[in-house]
Amino acid sequence: MRIEFLGAAHTVTGSCYLLEAGAHKLLVDCGMFQGSKRIRQLNTDGFRFNPAEIDCLLLTHAHIDHCGLIPKLCREGFKGPVYATKVTCELAHIMLPDSAHIQESDAEIFNRKGARSGDEPIQPLYTIDDAEASLKHFSVVPYENRVRINENVEAVFHDAGHIMGSAIIEVYVTENDETTKLVFSGDLGQPNQPIIKDPTIINGADYLFVESTYGDRLHQIYDKEEALAEIVNDTMERGGNLIIPSFAVGRTQTLLYYFYKLWKAGRIEDVPIILDSPLAIAATRIFIHNTQEFDDEALGLLLEHAQEEKDQEYCYAPSGFPGLETALGVMLTDLYHTGKLSLQEIIEKMTWAPAKVFDLQAGSLAKGMPADITVIDPELCWTVDEKKFYTKGSHSPFIGRELKGKAVMTLVDGNIVMQDGIING
């Protein structure tokens, strides 16, 4: 057995381990280097191994510093599976194309500026097509299942409590009838984080590989909800707007969760919350569709919210957060209100929008819109009859709900199939 550290050593990004066991080679993570120009330059260097010789990749979680070079790996010859948890696979499907878009945009900007000074054009690190192709390699591994990788290696994924879907990976390597247990921590979460479960306690290891981004400091312990409430209330009392930069995956959902709890407790007003990030919107939808990964507190709040809404005549957006809007929704509403877009044009644009569920009966999205109209996500698989319709997704917040709006438009493949209770063919 042989192990190489190919990233996140002397720096905190670019996570990648190469494990050789018997005749097999596998990677744990294949992350992008992030930070200074000198660090980012490592992404353009060649891999210190032949990607075509790698049998498989074990992925701890979907943050780009752990998965961001997978499209490059696949483009350069990797043919094997990428093993990851269900949520990590789903998040990778939005994270990697988004990263590729950034690579293409950065290269285009560099080349446009370089053309004026005679510089040689550069190619993006990888393209959207490369990212889409790499997603075909992903294979779901359930938590706590011992998976046989090959005759020498087995692996078990445990919840790392870092972001939804993150994993601590136990790797069992058997050589000469002797088994060695390796544990790769990935990024570990703190206990008692909102929404997600605490990290799993691992019992024993022969070798432990722990990442230590915060290994030289202590986390502050304070009432985060109280601090957030003070900031929100102070800003609203002064008539201001609060702008919060936030990571799209993990931090954004935590903030929305805090806002919801504070609103429910009457500690902040029912102020509009605008989520201005297609990636964060898509990630929030993935969180909501994976309630099996919620901790007990989050599940309790979700069930309480669902119970309270049973007798309402409309639903909030599927995030479950009152007042939540998307920047796209606000923009479309303004375009309608100024006469620049018709309602039908808005509906057509909603079919490709990152957040495809808008409640036009609630909040500022109703401004200037015809009353009592609900536009529902066509991806949620509707059963439609003349009076009501239901969702089928097991994790959908709308499951079993009858929507009672006076005029309901349901979109299927971009077409209105029901209006005012009448099915249109």
Q: Which residues contact 91 (CB under 8 A, 6 or more apart)?
A: 61, 62, 163, 164, 165, 249, 283, 286
CATH architecture of 224-423: 3-Layer(aba) Sandwich (3.40)
Taking only the tens place, the pLDDT of each residue in 138-156 is: 999 999 999 999 999 999 9
Three-state secondary structure string covering 132-187? HHHHHHEEECCCCCEEECCCCEEEEEEECCCCCCCEEEEEEEEECCEEEEEEECCC
Question: Closest by alpha carbon to 89, among 75, 70, 72?
Answer: 70
The shares of helix, strand and coil residues in the chain, as percent rounded to the nearest 5, are 35, 20, 45
Q: Is the pLDDT of residue 377 over 80?
A: no
42 or 213, which is more confident? 42
Per-residue confidence at 394, pLDDT binned at 50, 70, 90? very low
Question: What is the chain's mean pLDDT, rounded?
Answer: 77
Q: Is the pLDDT of residue 413 over 50?
A: no
Taking only the tens place, the pLDDT of each residue in 104-125 is: 999 999 999 888 888 889 999 9
Q: How far is residue 218 from each of residues 11, 194, 309, 375, 394, measured CA to CA in Å?
A: 19, 19, 41, 47, 40
Are 184 and 209 in contact by the 8 Å Cβ rule? The answer is yes
pTM of the predicted model as reported, rounded to 2 decimal places: 0.77
- Provide the angle, in degrees to the nearest 10, between the axes of the packed helices 251-264 and 224-237: 70
Taking only the tens place, the pLDDT of each residue in 254-305 is: 998 999 899 889 999 888 888 888 888 889 888 888 889 999 998 888 777 6
Are 43 and 34 in contact by the 8 Å Cβ rule? The answer is no
Q: What pLDDT score was predicted for residue 329?
A: 54
Question: Closest by alpha carbon to 393, among 309, 280, 285?
Answer: 285
Residue 408 DSSP label: E
Give me the percent of the chain exceeding a pLDDT of 70: 72
Q: Give how far the C-alpha of residue 173 lies from the chain's centroid of Cα atoms, to the nearest Å.
A: 32
Give me the percent of the chain exceeding a pLDDT of 90: 49
Compute the average pLDDT of residues 371-400: 33
The CATH label, of 3.60.15.10, 3.90.79.10, 3.40.50.300, 3.30.70.100, for the domain at 2-209 is 3.60.15.10
Let me know the angle formed at the C-alpha of 126 by 92 and 37, rounded to the nearest 5 degrees.
100
Compute the average pLDDT of residues 33-59: 94
Q: How far is residue 143 from each of residues 66, 126, 183, measured CA to CA in Å?
A: 19, 31, 15
Q: Is the pLDDT of residue 59 over 90?
A: yes
Taking only the tens place, the pLDDT of each residue in 312-366 is: 433 333 344 444 555 555 555 556 566 666 655 655 554 333 333 333 333 223 2
Q: Which residues contact 345 (CB under 8 A, 6 or more apart)?
A: none
Q: What pLDDT score was predicted for residue 335?
A: 60
Q: CA 169, CA 68: separation in Å to the nearest integer? A: 19
The full set of domain ranges for the chain reads 2-209, 224-423
Compute the average pLDDT of residues 191-199: 93
Q: Give the three-state DSSP class for 324.
A: strand
Q: Which of 76-90, 187-201, 307-321 is most confident?
A: 76-90
Q: What pLDDT score was predicted for residue 173?
A: 97
